[in-house]
Amino acid sequence: MIAIFTNGRSLARRAAMATVALAALFGSVAADAASLQEAKARGRIIVGIQGDNSPWGFVNSSGQQDGFDADIAKLFAKDLGVEVEFMPLAVANRIPALTTGKADILFATMGMTEERAKAIQYSKPYAGNVISLYGPKDKTMAKPEDTAGMAIGVPRSSAQDKAVTDAMGNIATVRRFDDDAASIQALLSGQVQAVGGNQFYLQRLDNASPGTYERKIDFLTLYNGAGTRKGEKDWNEAVNAFIDKIKADGELATVYAKWMKVPVPAFPESLPNIPFTVQ
């Protein structure tokens, strides 16, 4: 009996220690993550956004967050009746900032992929983005095989990282950088011979070196959604209702015309293994 009692105390002690360890690991999420009502009560939402990816999200010359996603986030905050606080994030830091509770929601060029949908809850799509390969006009890159032996730059953990790796990972050397700006600079400086980028990379490359680069290969059209934490129905329902509203009343078209210079695309009603609502 004594031995059984001792083992029981030992098990209880180990269980308590495990609980403390788990609390240390996950406590920050519970402490920092705000419900929609809590965010409304404090009078502001914290929006994770890109700070270096014009025209999606960037810090302008006045030091203010600007761009397509910034305008969408401001409309969302207005719809909720609160202020918006922006948290500029590198590509690889977007999901961690959300899941650890540092950001309430992501309007951060979040291409909707099955892998990301395992970690976050997507909203309905509100933007489209063509992912392509860009390189110098004097280099032939008509098909993936043409990149054999080349180095291709991508922002780490981005949609173009996956697209380039899937198409050319066994042919070329994929070099990963911290963000879009670093990837573009790598091409301009000759560290890589091509880059995987979104539909605005050519504009940024032309601004730096007019007439030198062109779009080579289109990989896919990716749709962007807002990101919230898994299981948080309040945030998901609020942002979906907001997206439906700005599609219907023309506000999305206005923001598209300002930043994208193209009409709003037709959005899919569903995407395989990427739910738009909390399940």
| Residue 12 is assigned to a structural domain of this protein | no
- Residue pair 51/57 in contact (Cβ under 8 Å)? The answer is yes
Domain count, the chain: 2
Domain assignment present for 49? yes
- Give the CATH number for residue 143: 3.40.190.10
Q: Residue 82 carries which side chain, given as an amino acid letter?
A: V
**123, 38: one domain:** yes
Question: Domain check: are 138 and 157 in the same one?
Answer: yes
- Give the largest Cα separation in the chain, rounded: 85
Cα distances (angstroms) measured from residue 178 to each of 110, 130, 226, 257: 16, 21, 21, 29
Domain contains 87: yes
Q: Do residue 74 and residue 158 come from a single domain?
A: no
Q: Is residue 24 part of a domain?
A: no
| Residue 95 identity (one-letter amino acid) | I
- Enclosing domain of residue 229: 31-128+224-259
pLDDT in tens, the chain (279 residues): 333 333 333 333 433 333 333 333 333 344 468 999 999 999 999 999 999 888 999 999 999 999 999 999 999 999 999 999 999 999 899 999 999 999 999 999 999 999 999 999 999 999 998 999 999 999 999 999 999 999 999 999 898 999 999 999 999 999 999 999 999 999 999 999 999 999 889 999 999 999 999 999 999 989 999 999 999 999 999 999 999 999 999 999 999 999 998 889 999 999 999 999 998
10 falls within a domain: no
278 domain-assigned = no
* 232 shares a domain with 113: yes
Same domain, 214 and 242: no
User: Do residues 144 and 123 share a domain?
Assistant: no
Question: 83 and 54, same structural domain?
Answer: yes
What's this model's pTM, rounded to 2 decimal places? 0.75
Q: How do beta strands 65-66 and 151-155 pair?
A: unpaired
Residue 21 lies in a domain: no
Residues 192 and 108 in one domain: no
